[in-house]
Chains A and B, each alone.
Chain A
């Protein structure tokens, strides 16, 4: 081997992806890394059990219409399905999201990332992409497939033509849950260097807001205060999306404003925290 100073520096002359594609590298690396963890694969597979159960329900009702009196195939079933998947959204958000930025901060890697031809938005987009990939795989994907299963098993478009709103409803409600969870978690992950602490923080945000709502409901005797709870707001908007009877007295517009506010706060935190150099003024 010859000494380093004897080696002439040569510029790379091969092909190079243009600026703006690096976020895909981050997504691919993140997704690949998580697929190699058996515990996580188990969690992903578990998230599809409700889909299998609902498919069996659709099959049973199609074969024996009288079963529809007990377990009807209606918009409410699809709404319940989306809400059930919320449990898996919670666990996957914690498992995947807690360390997304926190681990980079712990390894001092943010400065390295941002001294590459990579926009800050690309870095955040890449991290968001990892979380969204898995969250959509347990919400939007099974929900849309369930609608397709209804069409395939019944062998006609009769049901779907009379419940046409179910398709946009499952898409909208799934996206809403996924986006709120992903942005909130990413913002929290940018606040700390410890993934464990971020996981506790996220759990705290969800359960503490629910507990505050429980106390306020007892004090006021009204469900109008559900806007203080993250899950309460999601339920209020989901009820509106599915045209189902509201479970809370909170106006939909109030819940929408709270959820939009949560998104704005999360984006603002990310804008402030995702920097190569931390400036303490």
Chain B
């Protein structure tokens, strides 16, 4: 499918002798798609493979028509939200979001503007100057 957001073919992943994902082929079109499965089905492994966090043992993953593995250019076009919390307790929300935007190649001023827009969109501007409290994010 040429308009697929991502497509995988015969994708498999082994962790040593343990199989994480076995011969999966799927094509995902634009829009919202949910991934459901019981514990141990390989959902996390699948997500890590299609976001380029893990190298496939076999098969291929193409995101927006390009292979994702070892292709950091693609991260200019896609976003990734890890399942674990990831932030520094010493940083404020604004500092952390700005720092992440800076890594996307925006200069300091543009990054701050983009961070403000993002935090405004999710109604977090009031808390933007406070340090990120771990309990609030996890709760």
Contacts and interface: CB of A to CB of B under 8 A. Distances in A.
Interface string B20-35: 0000000000000000
Interface string B87-117: 1110000000001101111110010001000
Contact of A16 (B18, B76, B80): B76
B84 interface: yes
Contacts, number: 86
Contacts of B74: 117
Interface string A1-22: 1001001000010111111011
A173 to B, nearest CB: 36
A25 B75 CA distance: 16
Interface size class of A (residues with CB under 8 A): 20 to 34
Contact of B103 (A12, A116, A280): A116
A109 B114 contact: no
A112 B106 contact: no
A15 B110 contact: yes
B82 A116 contact: no
Nearest to A22: B103
Nearest to A115: B80
A279 B106 contact: no
B15 A115 contact: no
Contact of B87 (A18, A19, A107, A114): A107
A71 to B, nearest CB: 46
Nearest to A281: B16
A7 B118 CA distance: 11
Interface stretch (B2-10, B48-56, B59-67): B48-56
For A14, A25, A115, A116, which residue has the most chain B Cβ atoms within 10 angstroms?
A115
B121 A16 contact: no
Nearest to A126: B103
A108 B107 contact: no
Given A16-B105, A25-B102, A277-B54, A117 B82 contact: no
A107 B89 CA distance: 8
7 contacts: A14-B110, A21-B105, A25-B103, A103-B88, A112-B86, A117-B103, A118-B75
Interface of B: 15-16, 18, 48, 51-54, 72-76, 80, 82, 84-89, 99-100, 102-107, 110, 114, 121-123
Given A4-B121, A25-B99, A115-B82, 4 more contacts: A29-B102, A108-B85, A115-B75, A279-B54
Shortest 6 CB-CB contacts between residues of A and residues of B:
A281-B16, A16-B105, A115-B80, A17-B105, A108-B86, A116-B103
